[in-house]
């Protein structure tokens, strides 16, 4: 049988052996194979995005069982986000070198094993370490799942439909994470937030082994280990240093030493990329593009704001308003529906009619309004006006922002750099979420200590926590403005 790939990348050529012959003989069977390929790619991406948010509602229960400190608790979320962010670029490059199937299998297997270990963790240290393991698997799944679709379908309607499904599932994974986490934590245990990944991961592996071919590695390309080590080490050290500031002063050695070391490591990464003549993680020409750099800066800032919002609203509902995990998950339902509706229905229509930069402006405005409203959260007030309506504004802006920012970034890159720019924009969002959460934990802790120390009448624990969360949402509003301003200013007066 002739296995030479045909022009256009038809999905029938990734079906192995008998499945391929049946696909060629029966179009109906081929469509079933296409559905299986889309399903495995989408389920992989769903797991990656879901596990960034599903733990939020479970955090108070995790803290009680494993005795986390207030600042240490953020590492349950941040260990996953920081590892995924630091390894995402190398995950994309590994797909190019070793092929989509081996990297996808590796990612799903590591992620699933990490989920099992998280689910049986007996200490706070063990859980955080296992979240690092999960993140390393997620960093391989994300780029591999996208590569599967890009190489399995020819350009045109079939690829657009597959990518649209992949994007919708990714958006839904992040949005429904809080709801799923609430249901599992309240009805079973927080451990099932992780253990639920086991049957899904096993199913994805079976689909992958059955329907995806091994592909071919790219000759002459190598893994840029120096770049991977410096960027991952730099991001992790900065994260660690910022979180240390919550327990120590910003000028203390425990805070400044890891931050400075992290900055030096990132500087070393940039130097290595400039000097690398073969296969740099990020070509210098990409970093010189104004649309690429401004869009990535905006993605970094918005990622920091939105990632922190899910975390702190979840804590507010449970620690201040004393919602159960299930009630907290259900409380996020309006935000879940809003972000999916705006991301998958409204944003494509707006981008078809107007410039991406106008959509960015609209999304940023809605988010700022929502964050300012959230900053007034207190002990009283109805759920509708205190939580739901501000959350709807924030998530409407979220749904409007991510796609046009990615559009601006990729539109400002050469065709040959489209892949690396796509990886970079996703990395910026992940890095922003990781470092942003670490910073916001410090902001909340500083404000809470200040209120507790200044108040001679003695406020309740709920009032102290609420004061800290208020500053977080104010900071998020400022971040959105600072993030999108360079993009809007450099685009002023320029046609799209």
Distance CA(242)–CA(263), nearest Å, equals 12
Encode pLDDT of 106-121 as tens digits: 999 999 999 999 999 9
User: How does residue 7 score in pLDDT terms, banded at 50, 70 and 90?
Assistant: very low
Q: What's the pLDDT band for 2 if we cut at 50, 70, 90?
A: very low
pLDDT in tens, 326-351: 888 888 888 888 887 887 778 888 88
Reported confidence tier of residue 481, pLDDT bands at 50, 70, 90: very high
| Cα distance between residue 272 and residue 164, in whole Å | 36
Q: Give the Cα separation of 122 and 120 in Å (integer).
A: 6
pLDDT at 479: 93
3-state helix, strand, coil in the chain (%, to 5): 80, 0, 20
Indicate the pTM of the whole model: 0.74
- pLDDT of 308 over the 50 cut: yes
Q: What is the pLDDT of residue 447?
A: 79
Q: Considering the chain, what percentage of its residues have pLDDT values greater than 70?
A: 78
Rounded distance between C-alpha atoms, residue 88 and residue 281, angstroms = 10
pLDDT of residue 277: 60
pLDDT at residue 100 is higher than 50 = yes
φ, ψ for residue 14, nearest 5 deg = -100, 0
Q: What is the DSSP string of 320-374?
A: IS---HHHHHHHTHHHHHHHHHIIIIIHHHHHHHS-HHHHHHHHHHHHHHHHHHH
Q: What is the 3-state secondary structure (H, E, C) of 138-166?
A: HHHHHHHHHHHHHHHCCCCHHHHHHHHHH
Q: What is the pLDDT of residue 114?
A: 93
Confidence grade of residue 418 (pLDDT, cut at 50, 70, 90)? low
| pLDDT one-digit tens code per residue, 165-189 | 676 676 667 667 778 888 888 888 8
Closest CA relative to residue 85, chosen from 271, 236, 309, 285: 236
Model confidence at 10, pLDDT cuts 50, 70, 90, reads very low
Mean pLDDT rounded to a whole number for the chain: 78
Q: Which tens digit of pLDDT belongs to each residue from 192-238?
A: 989 988 998 898 888 888 877 665 554 445 666 777 778 778 877 88
Which pLDDT value is given to residue 219? 46
pLDDT class of 390 with cuts at 50, 70, 90 = very high
Beta strands in 63-210 (DSSP E): none
């Amino acid at each position: 049988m002739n296995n030479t790939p045909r022009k256009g990348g038809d999905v029938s050529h990734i079906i192995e052996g008998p499945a391929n012959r049946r696909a060629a003989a029966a179009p109906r069977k081929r469509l079933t194979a296409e559905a299986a390929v889309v399903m495995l790619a989408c389920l992989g991406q769903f797991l990656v995005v879901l596990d960034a948010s599903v733990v939020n509602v479970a955090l108070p229960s995790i803290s009680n069982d494993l005795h986390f400190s207030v600042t240490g608790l953020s590492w349950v979320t941040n260990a996953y986000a920081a590892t995924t962010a630091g390894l995402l670029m190398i995950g994309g490059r590994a797909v190019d070198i070793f092929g989509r199937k081996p990297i996808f299998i590796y990612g799903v297997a590591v992620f699933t094993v990490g989920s099992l270990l998280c689910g049986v963790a007996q200490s706070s240290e063990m859980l955080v370490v296992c979240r690092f393991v999960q993140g390393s698997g997620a960093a391989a799944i994300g780029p591999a799942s996208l590569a599967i679709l890009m190489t399995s379908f020819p350009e045109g309607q079939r690829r657009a439909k597959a990518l649209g499904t992949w994007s919708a599932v990714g958006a839904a994974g992040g949005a429904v994470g809080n709801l799923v986490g609430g249901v599992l934590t309240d009805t079973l245990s927080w451990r099932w937030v992780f253990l639920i990944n086991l049957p899904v991961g096993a199913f994805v592996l079976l689909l992958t082994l059955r329907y995806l071919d091994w592909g071919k590695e790219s000759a002459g390309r190598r893994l840029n280990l120096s770049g991977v080590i410096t960027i991952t080490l730099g991001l992790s050290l900065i994260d660690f240093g910022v979180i240390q500031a919550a327990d120590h002063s910003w000028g203390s050695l425990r805070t400044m030493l890891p931050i400075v070391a992290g900055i030096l490591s990132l500087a070393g990464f940039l130097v290595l990329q400039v000097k690398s003549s073969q296969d740099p993680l990020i070509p210098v020409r990409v970093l010189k593009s104004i649309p690429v750099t401004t869009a990535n800066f905006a993605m970094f800032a918005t990622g920091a704001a939105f990632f922190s919002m899910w975390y702190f609203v979840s804590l507010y509902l449970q620690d201040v308003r004393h919602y159960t995990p299930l009630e907290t998950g259900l409380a996020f339902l309006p935000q879940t529906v809003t972000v999916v509706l705006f991301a998958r229905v409204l944003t494509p229509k707006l981008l078809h009619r107007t410039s991406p930069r106008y959509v960015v402006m609209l999304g940023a405005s809605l988010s700022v309004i929502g964050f300012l409203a959230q900053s007034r959260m207190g002990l009283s007030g109805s759920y509708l006006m205190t939580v739901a309506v501000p959350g709807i504004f924030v998530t409407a802006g979220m749904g409007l922002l991510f796609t046009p920012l990615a559009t601006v970034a990729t539109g400002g890159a050469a065709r040959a750099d489209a892949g690396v720019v796509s990886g970079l924009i996703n990395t910026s969002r992940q890095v922003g979420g990781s470092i942003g959460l670490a910073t916001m934990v410090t902001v909340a802790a500083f404000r809470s200590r200040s209120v507790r120390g200044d108040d001679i009448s003695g406020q309740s624990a709920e009032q102290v926590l609420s004061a800290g969360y208020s500053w977080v949402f104010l900071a998020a509003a400022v971040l959105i403005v600072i993030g999108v301003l360079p993009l809007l200013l450099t685009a002023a007066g320029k046609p799209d």
